[in-house]
Amino acid sequence: MTEFTPLSGLLGGGLIGLSAIPLMGGYGRIAGASGIFAGLLTLSFNTEFSWRFIFIIGMLIGAAWSGLFFLDVSSLVFNGGPLTTIAAGLLVGIGTVLGSGCTSGHGICGLSRFSKRSLAATCTFTTAAVLTVFITRHMLGA
Amino acid sequence: MGKLIVFISGLLFGSGVTISGMVNPMKVLNFFDIFGTWDPTLILVVGAGLLVTLLGYQIIFKRKAPLYAQSFRLPTSQDIDAKLLGGAALFGVGWGLGGFCPGPAVASLVFGRTESITFVIAMAAGMLLTKQYQKLQQPKAGHTSS
């Protein structure tokens, strides 16, 4: 069980939405976490690398300070064992590169630009996630 | 100045995924578990995020260019193809298995849990493999596409 937390949900969501505004208005980029992170992995140290690196550093500092005040870190619960974690990570990595984005890139920024591709992707990955949880929790009983 | 803007954007994003609770995989999985221990919080997270970005973008795109760069870099592809939907489906299965999407997973590294580190390494491997595969496919695409 996790509790329904509407206030922190709205505040956190609002901040995620807010983050996309300076990145587009100031720097002309979409605040999509998978694209920004994947772009770092090329390790070609040019300007494409540096802005992504700065974004990720900001993200880590943001998580660290807000974790101190707004999050009980011991409340974080992970699903399954190491194999599940590895499989999940691989699928998320492969899927976000093939599908050109994740929750932030498609679900927030893409939908905000009224992109039909992002709408299709967001419906697809949300449905797939709901089905996966249904199968693992209610059919396999994990 | 552009780089400071990027940093602030990252700061807001990292704070948002943490405060919203998206860094907690169990909370995300409970959101997907409509027929079980449903936690609707994520609707409000995405709803609030979407509303703020949508309003912000309306103002931004009235301008011809961003303040500190030459142009807006927006995706040009319009096709809803098998690659987009297949990729999104794979991502969704991974999200439903682990409860992590890329942003919260990377942000959660600061909390020092082994599972976060394992997930992010596996995710990075998946991304690199796929990019490598796409690179190998690319020269052939010109010959095989009909």
Q: What are the pLDDT digits (tens) for B102-137?
A: 999 999 999 999 999 999 999 999 999 999 999 898
pLDDT beyond 50 at B144 = no
Question: Which pLDDT does position B140 carry in this prediction?
Answer: 57
pLDDT beyond 60 at B145 = no
pLDDT beyond 80 at A142 = no
Question: Which pLDDT does position A42 carry in this prediction?
Answer: 82
Q: Where does chain A have alpha helices with state H?
A: 6-27, 33-40, 47-70, 82-98, 111-112, 116-133
Choice among A19-23, A31-35, A74-78, A106-110 with the minimum mean pLDDT: A74-78
Average pLDDT for A114-130:
98
State the Cα–Cα distance between residues A82 and B57, nearest whole angstrom.
40
Q: Residue A81 has what DSSP assignment?
A: -
Average pLDDT for A94-107:
97
Is the minimum CB–CB distance between B93 and chain A shorter than 8 Å? yes
Contacts of B87 in chain A (CB under 8 A): 94-100, 121
pLDDT beyond 80 at B146 = no
Question: Which pLDDT does position B59 carry in this prediction?
Answer: 96
Question: Which pLDDT does position B49 carry in this prediction?
Answer: 98
- The answer to whether B87 and A95 have CB atoms below 8 angstroms apart is yes
Q: Which of A4, A7, A27, A36 to mutate to test the interface with B (most CBs of B within 10 A)?
A: A27
Question: Which pLDDT does position B141 carry in this prediction?
Answer: 52
Give the Å distances, CA to CA, from B84 to A125, B103, B124.
10, 19, 19
Decide if A117 and B37 are in contact by the 8 Å CB cutoff: no
State the Cα–Cα distance between residues B49 and B45, nearest whole angstrom.
6
Q: Mean of the per-residue pLDDT values for chain B? A: 93
The residues spanned by each domain of chain A are 6-72+80-139
Decide if A12 and B91 are in contact by the 8 Å CB cutoff: no
Higher pLDDT, A1 or B73: B73
Question: Which pLDDT does position A110 carry in this prediction?
Answer: 97
- The answer to whether A31 and A105 have CB atoms below 8 angstroms apart is yes
What value of ipTM does the predicted structure carry?
A: 0.96
- Shortest Cα distance from B1 to chain A (angstroms)? 9
Residue where the block lists tokens 């996630």: A129
Q: Name the amino acid, one letter, at B91.
A: F
Choice among A110-114, A115-119, B40-44, B141-145 with the minimum mean pLDDT: B141-145
Question: Which pLDDT does position A20 carry in this prediction?
Answer: 98
Average pLDDT for A16-22:
98
Decide if B14 and A21 are in contact by the 8 Å CB cutoff: no
Give the highest mean pLDDT range of A68-72, A128-132, B130-134: A128-132
B99 to chain A: nearest residue by CA?
A: A79
Decide if A128 and B93 are in contact by the 8 Å CB cutoff: yes
Decide if A92 and B22 are in contact by the 8 Å CB cutoff: no
pTM of the model: 0.94
Question: Which pLDDT does position B50 carry in this prediction?
Answer: 97
